[in-house]
Amino acid sequence: MIASGQWEVTRYSIAVMLRTKASVRVIKERSIMMNNATNLEFTDISNETYREYVYQDRKKLYIPLPTHLHVNKIGGHRVLNEAGRSYYIAPGWLWIEWEAKEGKPNFAK
């Protein structure tokens, strides 16, 4: 957990991925920097290969290689992935799907 008001600068290995129904394949790697300059607390979810939010109309939001998650008081999610892309997911999704990386726990905090 990243405490409120702390700065975090962490180096991540980035993977550009091809996703098929059968598997996720890493095809290229690079490094970026992550910087949290907010008072929000984030949980490490880097054990996940992907995170997918499913909505009532069955549309999906797919997030490859998520690393950090913040859940606000109304259930909104802020997610950062290894590519450095930030997402805000408003409440309203029906469920979340994810897959743990090989050898990592399916549920972690």
* Predicted confidence (pLDDT) at residue 90 exceeds the cutoff of 80: yes
In the chain the domains, ranked by start, together with CATH numbers, are: 38-100 (2.30.30)
Mean pLDDT of 27-56: 81
How does residue 5 score in pLDDT terms, banded at 50, 70 and 90?
very low
How does residue 38 score in pLDDT terms, banded at 50, 70 and 90?
confident
Quick one: three-class SS letters along the chain?
A: CECCCCCEEEEEEEEEEEECCCCEEEEEEEEEEEEECCCCCEEECCCEEEEEEECCCCCEEEEECEEEEEECCCCCEEEEECCCCEEEECCCCCEEEEEECCCCCCCCC
Closest CA to 3 of 70, 51, 56, 58: 70
